[in-house]
Amino acid sequence: MNYTWQPNISINNLVKRAKLIRKIRKFFEYRNYVEIETPLLSNGTITNVNIIPFETKLINNNYKKLYLISSPEFHMKRLLCIGMNKIFQLCHSFRNGEIGKYHNPEFTILEWYRKNCSMNNIMLETNALLKLILKYKKSEFVSYQNIFIKYTNIDPLNINKEKINKFLLKNKLTHLFDNNYNNVIQLIFSLIITPKLGLKNPVFVYHFPIYQAELACINDKNNKIADRFEVYFKGIELSNGCYELIDAKEQLKRFIYEFKKVINNKLKRYIDKRLVLALKYGNISNYSGVALGVDRLIMLALKINSLKEVISFDINNS
């Protein structure tokens, strides 16, 4: 008998997933967030060179190029620019080529934004949500600089090229050699440090270097760091957030910088000027936001070791 028609997820996990999604919605409803919906198809896309969007064309409009969203972030920020205070969204997002144990090209994402909220406060709110779903007692909060020094004895904010090269040689990572040492720092963090994070309880890593924070504010006390954080549990990146950049001129400058990297990699993208216009002319206030991978969260909550077991149909079974 051919069983290839069957879903990945069991009935038991399907029911548990539904209950966890309901808990997430109640969490935000209790805090007076408004649930919103935004398009999955967009005229623009991100300039981040590390994320490849899916492209399509609108056949009755001169084959105009459209993109499946990699995140609802830009549209949600445009809603904030008309004066919304607290919004959240659960939706599907799409990233081309991301297939693996903890990746699927189509995935469920949770994003929320809150007006007049610092990075520290949004981290505490994120912690409250994760405690509700993952049932742990405490989490760890540590700066990017300190966690990097702990595991590598390298200061990522004061790059010593000789020290980095010695580290790569010692750990047989010479394939990571790159003239751009900012890239090397990111690779060391992803490949060496991330798998060691949050093995018992979630770890909040905050104050990332500014070159890793396209959409976050620069810290007002140290211009080498941004008010951005990521959450790790069982060696898996679960969430990221920041005190959001709302300066239209600075945001455009950063988009252009990232756009140049995309062009150098021969990836055709367009800067989303609608977000820049929203920041320039909209009714915008200081706010913080978070993006969280829901499928990974459910996987960890159910103590399952593979993403495809908590989604109905993965890309190989869709």
CA 24 to chain centre: 18
Rounded Cα gap, residues 284 and 302, in angstroms: 39
Confidence of residue 262 (pLDDT cuts 50, 70, 90): confident
SS3 assignment, position 2: coil
Note whether residue 36 is domain-resident: yes
CATH of the domain at 264: 3.30.930.10
Note whether residue 201 is domain-resident: no
Confidence of residue 265 (pLDDT cuts 50, 70, 90): low
CB atoms within 10 A of CB 61: 8
Note whether residue 183 is domain-resident: no
Q: How many domains does the chain have?
A: 1
Note whether residue 272 is domain-resident: yes
Note whether residue 139 is domain-resident: no
Note whether residue 213 is domain-resident: no
Give the sign of the dihedral formed by CA 48, CA 90, CA 229, CA 238.
Answer: negative
Note whether residue 100 is domain-resident: yes
Confidence of residue 132 (pLDDT cuts 50, 70, 90): very high
> What is the structure's pLDDT at 100?
87
**Number of alpha carbons in the 13 Å side-chain half-sphere of residue 96:** 15
CA 3 to chain centre: 35
Note whether residue 89 is domain-resident: yes
> What is the structure's pLDDT at 174?
83
| Residue range of the domain that includes 54 | 11-134+237-310
